[in-house]
Amino acid sequence: MNRHLISAGDLAKDDALLILDTAEELARVSERSIKKLPTLRGRTVVNLFFEDSTRTRISFEAAAKRLSADVINFSAKGSSVSKGESLKDTALTLEAMGADAVVIRHSASGAPYRLATWVHGSVVNAGDGTHEHPTQALLDAFSMRRRLGGLEGRKVTIVGDVLHSRVARSNVLLLHTLGAEVTLVAPPTLLPVSVGSWPCEVSYDLDAVLPKSDAVMMLRVQKERMNAAYFPSEREYSRRYGLDRDRFAKMPDDAIVMHPGPMNRGMEIAAEVADSARSTIVEQVANGVTIRMAVLYLLLGGEIA
Amino acid sequence: MIIRNVRILGGEPVDLRIADGVIAEIGPGLEGPESVDGGGAIALPGLVDLHTHLREPGREDAETVQTGTQSAARGGYTAVHAMANTSPVADTAGVVEQVWRLGREFGHCDVHPVGAVTVGLEGRQLAELGAMADSAARVRVFSDDGKCVDDAVLMRRALEYVKAFDGVVAQHAQEPRLTSGAQMNEGVVSGRLGLTGWPAVAEEAVIARDCLLAAHVGSRLHVCHVSTAGSVEILRWAKSKGWNITAEVTPHHLLLTDDLVEESPVGAYNPIYKVNPPLRTRADVEALRAALADGTIDVVATDHAPHPVEDKETEWSAAAMGMVGLETALSVVQEAMVETGLLDWAGVAQRMSVVPARIGRLTGQGQPLQVGAPANITLYDPSVRTKVDPSAFASKSRNTPYEGMTLPGRVVATFLRGRPTVLEGKLV
């Protein structure tokens, strides 16, 4: 394992499998009535969140606490950052406090790489701009592996705003590493012009891809894209790329539906699809804590008691 | 004064006698009282930069006319064109005269202010181009550099208007809507890194339009910092029509590529590589080199853009765009063009001194080194290779992408009208 987890592309297959397997072990801990392990006692994990993301922050916080780490939550709002402090100065402050790991969420792509040049502790990317969100990809892979029994040769379809999606980037890299076959489906405006160089297939036709999918991951459409001429209207997007009941019926009977949340119900995914038994959306949240425990545990070199 | 043992454009060793700021005699074994030993260095006509940001007035924390021209002298330059995007903007006779006077006062090299095309670089109303042309600064180059004059009517009027005083509009070709929020070259690397792409077409479309406009009104157009292979194709076509168009390329676009943003010795997403126009691909670099060699691109211009440390030690999207370049330009051109066999030293002199002076309509600069010419001379030793050390720069800023890189050549001495501004690599 590297010292940091910034890109899913940094994980070799063995690393990724080690994280998933470790998470399986830790999942058993989560099933106990006392969920806490002493492995990271005395270690400090800082949650450095420059973007509001209560879901991800709580997930990392729960993961660190279950491993008995001391957790410091640093939110940019109302802090020295809102008074104009630079990322570098914030990093040096955390360094002086002796952070063993910094979990960073930032609106600027690449911010975790910059942070890693200024701190000695491990840097975990909790989502950077439109770049990556590797723990999301890991929890998605974990969820798929549990439902589908394995990822080798599985067909995973990722649908939506790939251009601006850090979830899509991390998933394409990790799923490729793990031997799955990824197909991206989106209107051409929401795909990078260079998507042909990615290790995946690309289609503009969701209906053609659905019957061949073992898992379908719907991406959130951000409100700000809706008014920026990426597509004509919400309704047209929903008609062409939304996973409604009719499309859901075209999927194989054992195929699963995923969404990293938060969802726009009725836009990219119909409510009854999101709530169906084949949806892993709630599991994904639970698995998020487990996978983040595994990541912190492996990066900080704890031992399973 | 005698400058001994120099090789004009890399030719046979000679001595130069300098008297009253002019080259008085050229030949072997000249006798005279004072002398400077050239040590067999190559003698070039003093370099002329068409594109320098001196930052004064307004951002004296990044650079001043004094430090910027010291930096220029160390790079072998005897004249620079100071871009207009200062604060206040150089859009009036008052501001251009202020910059011009500061240049005269410090005397490290000649400073020729560039005037803004539009008031405040806002792209709405023509600045008083005639007043700037008639001022003591005698402005001939006009540019909204950093911003594109994207309004086609305004660009047409500017091109027409400057004909009255033989001016030239130097366009920063960048279609603003296509580059809204753009961070780096749009391509394979930007897609992976999740950085908003800066498509080549945003540059090429404006260059194509401007060439057609310049042809239509019979004006002179200069294209700043050409960065793409497609731009080269358009310029080649426009020049084949005989239109009065010139173009420049920066040293960094001749050497560096966009994959440095992903992988480099200074880490991923290091804004030291953030620049406008962005670093492009290897294919673009090859096309730019070929174009500079065959004359499609006329000159090398540095786009020396100093920024203080805190404007670069940030996350990528928050960082300022630009690189310092005056003190490394000749070395980079040697590496990219001379070592590759694309240019000889006569070709370098054309592209870094003679032609830029001609485009800027400078009379006392860019003259071939011959008897009677002003003694603006750069002595350059191409035989050494050294590691770039930004702490040695005369520039106030250190934002160089070449730190730690080994580059060929060293400016030994620079003479401005016979007076040394740099000797043995050090400011005089």
Q: What is the pLDDT of residue A305?
A: 40
In a domain, A305, yes or no: no
| Tokens 């053609």 found at | A208
The per-residue pLDDT for range A5-64, each reduced to its tens digit, is 999 999 999 999 999 999 999 998 778 888 789 999 999 999 999 988 889 999 999 999
Using the Cβ of A110 and the Cβ atoms of chain B, whether some distance falls under 8 Å is answered with yes
Nearest Cα of chain B lies from the Cα of A246 at a distance, in angstroms, of: 33
CATH 3.20.20.140 matches B46-366: yes
Closest CA to B254 of B221, B302, B208: B302
Tokens at residue B92, please?
Answer: 């009036």
Strands A181-185 and B406-416, bridge-based pairing? unpaired
Crossing angle of the two packed helices A54-66 and A281-299, in degrees rounded to 10: 50
d(CA A209, CA A181): 12
Using the Cβ of B267 and the Cβ atoms of chain A, whether some distance falls under 8 Å is answered with yes
Set of chain B residues whose Cβ sits within 8 Å of the Cβ of A192? 190-191, 197
A284 annotated to a ligand binding site: no
Using the Cβ of B194 and the Cβ atoms of chain A, whether some distance falls under 8 Å is answered with yes
**Nearest chain B alpha carbon to A170:** B192
Q: What is the pLDDT of residue A110?
A: 98
Set of chain A residues whose Cβ sits within 8 Å of the Cβ of B197? 192-193
Task: Name residue B3's beta-bridge partners.
Answer: B16, B36
* CB proximity under 8 Å: A 67-86 to B: 86
Q: What is the pLDDT of residue A54?
A: 87
Same domain, A155 and A82: no
A252 annotated to a ligand binding site: no
Question: CB-CB: which of A87, A164, A193 is closest to B186?
Answer: A193
Task: Name residue A101's beta-bridge partners.
Answer: A45, A122
Same domain, A100 and A126: yes
B304 annotated to a ligand binding site: no
Same domain, A59 and A107: yes
Whether B199 and A193 lie within 8 Å, measured CB to CB: yes
d(CA B156, CA B140): 17
pLDDT band at A148 (very low <50, low <70, confident <90, very high): very high
- CATH code assigned at A15: 3.40.50.1370
Q: What is the pLDDT of residue A82?
A: 64
Tokens at residue B232, please?
Answer: 């080269």
Residue B380 identity (one-letter amino acid): Y
Percent of chain A with pLDDT over 90: 83
Closest CA to B301 of B144, B109, B82, B55: B82
Strands A122-128 and A101-106, bridge-based pairing? parallel
Same domain, A255 and A120: no
Show Cβ contacts of residue A260 under 8 Å, excluding neighbours closer than 6 positions: A133, A136, A140, A167, A217, A219, A220, A284
The per-residue pLDDT for range B87-131, each reduced to its tens digit, is 999 999 999 999 999 999 998 999 999 999 999 999 999 999 999
The better pLDDT of the pair A37, A211 is held by A211
> In the sheet that B419-423 helps form, which strands lie side by side, from edge to edge?
B22-27, B13-19, B2-8, B35-45, B377-387, B406-416, B419-423, B426-427
Interface contacts (A, B; CB < 8 Å) = 76
Chain B contact probe: residue of A48, A161, A194 with most B CBs at under 10 A: A194
Same domain, A141 and A204: yes
Write out residues in chain B with pLDDT < 70, as ranges. Answer: none
Whether B194 and A194 lie within 8 Å, measured CB to CB: no
In a domain, A238, yes or no: yes
B225 annotated to a ligand binding site: yes
d(CA B282, CA B261): 13
d(CA A174, CA A136): 10
Judge contact between A142 and A151, C-beta under 8 A.
no
Q: What is the pLDDT of residue B317?
A: 96
In a domain, A304, yes or no: no
d(CA B359, CA A188): 44
Using the Cβ of A261 and the Cβ atoms of chain B, whether some distance falls under 8 Å is answered with no
Closest CA to A245 of A214, A267, A277, A270: A270
Strands B221-223 and B245-249, bridge-based pairing? parallel
Q: Name the residue range of residue A117's domain.
A: 8-133+285-299
Nearest Cα of chain A lies from the Cα of B312 at a distance, in angstroms, of: 11
d(CA A265, CA A221): 11
- 3-class SS at B260? helix
Task: Name residue A48's beta-bridge partners.
Answer: A74, A104
Exposure class string for B171-187: b at 16+ Cβ within 10 A, else e: bbbbbeebbeebbbbbb
- 3-class SS at B378? strand
- Inter-CA distances, B425 with A169, B259, B391, B394, B428, Å: 49, 33, 14, 11, 9
Same domain, A52 and A79: yes
d(CA B61, CA B320): 14
d(CA B143, CA B96): 13
ipTM score of complex: 0.93
d(CA A153, CA A144): 12
pLDDT band at A304 (very low <50, low <70, confident <90, very high): very low
Domain spans in chain B, listed from the N-terminal domain onward:
46-366
Largest CA distance in chain A: 56
Strands B168-171 and B221-223, bridge-based pairing? parallel
Same domain, A293 and A267: no
Chain A contact probe: residue of B180, B192, B262 with most A CBs at under 10 A: B192
Using the Cβ of A176 and the Cβ atoms of chain B, whether some distance falls under 8 Å is answered with no
B280 annotated to a ligand binding site: no
Q: Is the dihedral of CA B414, B277, B294, B240 positive or negative?
A: negative
The yes-or-no verdict on residue A79 having pLDDT over 80 is no
The per-residue pLDDT for range A234-259, each reduced to its tens digit, is 999 999 999 999 999 999 999 999 99
Closest CA to B107 of B415, B325, B380: B415
A131 annotated to a ligand binding site: no
Judge contact between B415 and B18, C-beta under 8 A.
yes
The catalytic residues of B are 303
pLDDT band at A222 (very low <50, low <70, confident <90, very high): confident
Same domain, A139 and A273: yes
- Inter-CA distances, A107 with A5, A131, A136, B35, B405, Å: 17, 10, 16, 61, 32
Using the Cβ of A227 and the Cβ atoms of chain B, whether some distance falls under 8 Å is answered with no
Same domain, A20 and A149: no
Chain B contact probe: residue of A51, A169, A193, A198 with most B CBs at under 10 A: A193
Overall number of domains in chain A: 2
Residue A143 identity (one-letter amino acid): S
Same domain, A50 and A123: yes
Question: CB-CB: which of A111, A164, A194 is closest to B188?
Answer: A194
One DSSP character per residue, B275-320 reads: -SSPP--HHHHHHHHHHHHHTSS-EE---B----GGGTSS-GGGSP
Counted residue by residue, chain B has a size of: 428
Angle at B14 between CA B9 and CA B17, to 5 degrees: 105
Angle at A205 between CA A277 and CA A247, to 5 degrees: 30
Same domain, A110 and A161: no
d(CA A296, CA A45): 9
Phi, psi of A169 (to 5 degrees): -60, -50
Beta-carbon count within 10 A of B296 CB: 24
